[in-house]
Copies of this chain bind each other. A is one copy, B any other.
């Protein structure tokens, strides 16, 4: 056994981010993931910039460790091929609008009838049922509708989307998790099942205290900028170099270390700042003392003094700094892959480290339909002449 999902076959029919990341993680874990794309244009993310050698770096970021084949989904012969592949599959991933798979004769009822061991994982904006099920859903819509966006930014400014599609990624991970849970159950029952995860549900799972604060306390959480809700001082400060530094020292032991490092040990006995509660009530006062101290020191001096005292702090990094980060380099998190068309492409490494079955990038992101022939031959044992016919008829 060299990888945790060795021998597991996945049909990945998904587009954009949440679905493809879900498939990619299964691929990182060693599954045989076949990305089934719309003949002609493929996954929409293939058309998002930036490009290198005509290939989308955006699409590449979500599709390593997969093979690509194309299908003309509207052709009944393609739908039949898809069902034939489902007979061989352990897992099918899809993120079409609810009802689309049913229209292709590939709903859960049909697919589980032809392969009772199949796990069908459906990712969508709002879930397979309910009043919003048919609405178009994207990451930003879920950030906004879940309240998370409204909690991001300053009280006196607009709400902000986060700097990445984090709800897409979270939904991907809930999709993977549910799929692996179903795989565990299948070891014991022999039966697959259907999974339904959505962007909106996933977003709401990240609200921490917002729901009980609203419904039990009757208080509506709002934006606090970078000021932590639960402890102080914990905020972003500007140094004399003009950089932003994030500092988290709200607990009593950390606050003591900070006060010492700043050469102001008397702060810990100041009644305004002596306890967690007191500091939270006087957050503006303690933060302005920290800001005054930072304003006269450059970033390196600040990080050395505070960081060496064991207080969590870091410069708010820019991407040119991130790619040089010594820890990330040590952990092999910034790597280069060799793409058949685009050449060398830098990307994030594999995220999860498993001691006995380590993950690796076994395949670069595929070009559109790169493996159509291989997969039809591998999975379905179709002859080359049969494959040629399907291609001539634009079925695949």
Contacts and interface: CB of A to CB of B under 8 A. Distances in A.
A197 interface: yes
A320 interface: yes
Contacts of A54: none
A55 B333 CA distance: 39
Contact of A181 (B128, B180, B185, B323): B180
A114 interface: no
A324 to B, nearest CB: 10
A272 to B, nearest CB: 18
Nearest to A44: B251
Interface residues of A, number: 151
A69 interface: no
Nearest to A146: B322
A103 interface: no
A312 B201 contact: no
A131 to B, nearest CB: 5
Contact of A248 (B8, B131, B140, B357): B140
A50 B317 contact: no
Contact of A312 (B138, B147, B216): B138
Given A211-B347, A222-B318, A353-B127, A164 B148 contact: yes
Nearest to A47: B276
24 contacts: A5-B184, A25-B177, A29-B181, A57-B217, A133-B327, A135-B307, A141-B246, A147-B317, A148-B164, A149-B163, A158-B238, A164-B208, A169-B170, A174-B351, A178-B354, A182-B354, A194-B355, A201-B328, A204-B351, A211-B322, A214-B320, A215-B334, A215-B346, A216-B346
